[in-house]
Structure 1
Amino acid sequence: MASWNSVPLEVLYNILGWVAFVSWSISFYPQVILNFRRKSSAVQRQYHSRYGSNEMIPVAANDVAFSAHAVLLTAFTLFQISIYDRGNQKVSKIALAIVSVSWLSVAVCVFVGIPKHSWLWIVSCFNALQVAMTVTKYIPQAVMNFRRKSTIGFSIGNILLDLFGGLTNYGQMAVQSIDQNSWVNFYGNIGKTMLSLVSIFFDILFIVQHYVLYPSRKEVVSPNLDVEEPKGH
């Protein structure tokens, strides 16, 4: 394998590469920050028109960051599925049907909403679809735990973190409501409200299954089980 002949040039090569990476990565932010500062958005205007001009937009920067992060990780997971050995595992026909219906729903919402510039309505449709997909995502795991009467192999740590995230999300919304002396942000962003409610419900269900209904029982193994008896001479 070829190697660098000059260490300083190798260091410079790596520095320039990472500088380019950082520059390209940061380049996405100025426009986002400018848009945030200007708050020029047809969706926001429609929101204020429906709920009142004095109401604060119930979408925080962390909501946008979470959505972007979730999309990236989901795309990466799909990439892993496509390149790793899956054995005889296949995507079920039910899953394919659900995905097809979801994309068809997205297409219908966009097709109906764009000509009328009903951007807030489109966002509401996406929120409803997100809640429906979240419910669909949780049900198979709950059913499998029930049928197996066990949660072995199921990561409860993920559920505990998810529950904590849902509770803190509600806390964030409550803080904004108390500060603004208005609870519009709960029903003005019904997608976020329902998403947290659904997540908390299933998280509590999984916790009950894991710790109460189907607690794992560790087998006690004798310390001398696999120890070979010394042979006599």
Structure 2
Amino acid sequence: MATEFNSFPLEIVYEIFGWIAFFSWSISFYPQVFLNFHRKSVVGLNFDFVVLNLTKHSTYLIYNATLYFSSAVQTQYRDKYGHDEMIPVAANDVAFSMHAVILTAFTLFQIFIYERGNQKISKISLTIVVVAWCAAAFCVFIALPTQSWLWLISVFNTIQVTMTVIKYIPQAFMNFFRKSTEGFSIGNILLDFSGGVANYAQMATQSIDQGSWVNFYGNVGKALLSLVSIFFDLLFMVQHYVLYRSKPVHHPSKVKVDEANKEALLVTSDSDLP
């Protein structure tokens, strides 16, 4: 039988924080999607960030959905951490993961149909993704004989934590070398920051109600997800609002169009002379 909250008000607060995190994180994908659509360009958005992010959210979905829906995994969780402990995954976690996989995949699709400039997906990020999924597949075969499902989903959780740590790095360096955040939506970052804070507050609320911090180390992936996201979101805010404020990058294609327009105006002006 599932463990319940001791305090009804704290349960309400827990649900509120959870759905704030869900809506903030879910909506955070749309500013970048709309920016790409409006510009018909993905120049400025790091492709490695998107590829790594897709693997991150896919493995996180596997972890969340399995722990939330599987009674066998829940039993193994309580056998390890205590039968009075609540399952550290909520409905909003599963809903967010499903939505995140769909929107990240759509962003990747935009990369293939819009102007890319000279940007491309690096071999390093592709290698990381292939190694991650091969390792996950290998662990599946290890877990099958003993039915160590909790250990198996913890592997997927470890992969998502690793991807969370490294996925922001390419975008941060790209902004640094370009000295600009043009093409990378700050709206995404602001909403992501709000989601990270709300997610961490939700975990803290559960721990306060249960009088136990097992919620954090029993689902270290969710805790690290919030902390790492908050750290990089703050970094991107500094880059956008302080370091590279009002420093747009002029793309070669745009420069050529501007020069062509100027030349056309000069020709028109000359033709009007007596």
Judge same fold: TM > 0.5, yes or no.
Answer: yes
C-alpha RMSD over aligned residues: 2.9
Paired letter, 2:123: K
User: Separation in 2 of the partners of 1:133 and 1:52?
Assistant: 29
What's the offset of the Cα at 1:214? 2.2
The match for 2:224 among 191, 194, 215 is: 194
What's the offset of the Cα at 1:89? 5.1
User: Separation in 1 of the partners of 2:164 and 2:135?
Assistant: 15
The match for 1:160 among 190, 212, 222 is: 190
What's the offset of the Cα at 1:148? 2.2
1:95 counterpart = 2:125: yes
Paired letter, 2:82: G
Paired letter, 2:180: S
Residues 186 and 237 in structure 2, CA contact (< 8 A), matched pair in contact too: yes
User: Separation in 2 of the partners of 1:155 and 1:85?
Assistant: 16
Aligned to 2:71: 41
Instruction: Give CA deviations for 1:76-114 in whole Å, capped at 9, x if unaligned.
Output: 334444556757654322222111111111112212122
Q: More relative contact order in 1 or in 2 (CA 8 Å, sep 6+)?
A: 2
Q: Which runs of 4+ in 1 moved over 6 A?
A: none
- Count of matched residue positions in the alignment of Structure 1 and Structure 2: 189
Matches within 5 A, 1:38-77: 41-77=71-107
Moved more, 184-193 or 92-101: 92-101
1:182 counterpart = 2:212: yes
Kindly tell me: are residues 157 and 75 of structure 1, through their superposed partners in 2, closer, same or farther at Cα, counting changes over 3 Å? closer
The match for 1:111 among 138, 141, 146 is: 141
What's the offset of the Cα at 1:197? 1.1
User: Separation in 2 of the partners of 1:181 and 1:206?
Assistant: 35
Paired letter, 1:209: Q
Paired letter, 2:197: L
Residues 179 and 247 in structure 2, CA contact (< 8 A), matched pair in contact too: no
Instruction: Please report the TM-score for the alignment, with normalisation by the length of structure 1.
Output: 0.71
The match for 1:208 among 238, 242, 247 is: 238
More helix by share: 2
Residues 193 and 229 in structure 2, CA contact (< 8 A), matched pair in contact too: yes
Instruction: Please report the TM-score for the alignment, with normalisation by the length of structure 2.
Output: 0.61
The match for 2:177 among 137, 147, 171 is: 147
Paired letter, 2:243: L
- The percentage of counterpart residues that share the same residue type is 70
Kindly tell me: are residues 193 and 41 of structure 1, through their superposed partners in 2, closer, same or farther at Cα, counting changes over 3 Å? same
What's the offset of the Cα at 1:50? 0.8
Residues 200 and 226 in structure 2, CA contact (< 8 A), matched pair in contact too: yes
Instruction: Give CA deviations for 1:91-148 in whole Å, capped at 9, x if unaligned.
Output: 3222221111111111122121222111111111111100111222100111112222
Moved more, 163-172 or 209-218: 209-218
1:135 counterpart = 2:170: no
Kindly tell me: are residues 115 and 82 of structure 1, through their superposed partners in 2, closer, same or farther at Cα, counting changes over 3 Å? farther
What's the offset of the Cα at 1:179? 1.1
Aligned to 1:10: none
Kindly tell me: are residues 114 and 74 of structure 1, through their superposed partners in 2, closer, same or farther at Cα, counting changes over 3 Å? farther
What's the offset of the Cα at 1:74? 2.7
